[in-house]
Amino acid sequence: MHVYPPDLDVAGPVDLTLTIASGLTEEQAEGVVTLTAPDGWSVTPAVRPYVLPPGGHATVPVRLTPPPGAEGGLHLLTARTEFGDQAYEDVTRLHVFRPGEGGRRSPGLEVTLEGLGHPPHLRLTPGGRAEVVVRLRSEARSPVSAQAQLVSPWQTFEMFPEWNGGAVVPPEGEAEVRFPVRVPLGTRPGRWWALVKIACAGWLHYTDTIEVEVER
């Protein structure tokens, strides 16, 4: 599923294209795409059912209309569908300009590792516990759905029992994603690394590398 174009300057009604495609080779794909416009905006269609034969696709014209006097800044049009117990989402970034408000706002997030020092580090002993806390801040006028994944070497997998998370950052607000750290008893001393990958609205960010040390 894809919404095109992915990035638009908006001063009035705009036309976009929603494409839905199936990678199945034997079964048909059936579901519903929900298009969510920013508050006060209108989108047609807002809901689009689909039934695709194996390998099939469909193209749907979409009309998006901002309200008079739409707030300047970054807004998001979101397309979402669910199939096979998995959710799929795509967005178009919408930039509205007002006199005196400057240019485009960043499509991404301000990302901060909380409480790990500079450079970030974790020093623990076997049986020890901690958390990796990532704070996300957004300038967008729309909610931003962010996916966060903690990445580390395979030797440390048992230390990070919950590596996949996410949050919805409210408009011009902030949210946190927390990853628990649990050092199993019997873990040998050593040094490793970890970092967090954040994806949102076609934007990808990696945090600074965290030094992970297990002491005797």
E-only strand ranges, the chain: 2-4, 7-9, 14-21, 29-36, 42-44, 47-52, 57-65, 73-83, 86-96, 110-114, 121-124, 129-137, 144-151, 164-169, 174-182, 190-200, 203-206, 210-214
Q: How far apart are CA 62 and CA 86, in angstroms?
A: 24
Last residue of a domain, which of 96, 131, 162?
96
Task: Dig out the tokens for 51 from the structure.
Answer: 């039934």
User: In this predicted structure, what is the pLDDT of residue 98?
Assistant: 75
Same domain for 166 and 126, yes or no, is yes
- The pLDDT of residue 84 is 83
Q: Report whether pLDDT(103) > 80.
A: no
Structural domain includes residue 103: no
Tell me the β-bridge partners of 183.
none
Percentage of residues in the chain having pLDDT higher than 90: 84
Mean pLDDT across 165-184: 96
Chain segment 20-69, per-residue pLDDT in tens: 999 889 899 999 999 999 999 999 999 999 999 999 999 999 999 999 98
Nearest partner of 134 among 172, 167, 170, 182, judged by Cα: 167
Last residue of some domain: 38, 69, 96? 96
The mean of the pLDDT values for the chain is: 93
Alpha carbon separation from 52 to 20, 22, 33, 55, 107 (Å, rounded): 9, 7, 13, 8, 32
Task: Please report where in the chains the tokens 């998370």 appear, as a residue.
Answer: 165
Q: What is the mean pLDDT of residues 175-204?
A: 95
pLDDT at 106 over 80: no
Same domain, 179 and 132: yes
Domains: count for the chain? 2
Q: What is the pLDDT of residues 107-156, one digit of tens each?
A: 789 999 999 999 999 999 999 999 999 999 999 999 999 999 999 999 99
The answer on pLDDT for 102 being more than 70 is: no
| 155 phi and psi angles, rounded to 5 deg | -65, -20
Structural domain that includes position 175: 110-214
State the pLDDT at residue 107: 77
Residues 89 and 118 reside in one and the same domain: no
Q: What is the CATH number of the domain that holds 60?
A: 2.60.40.2310
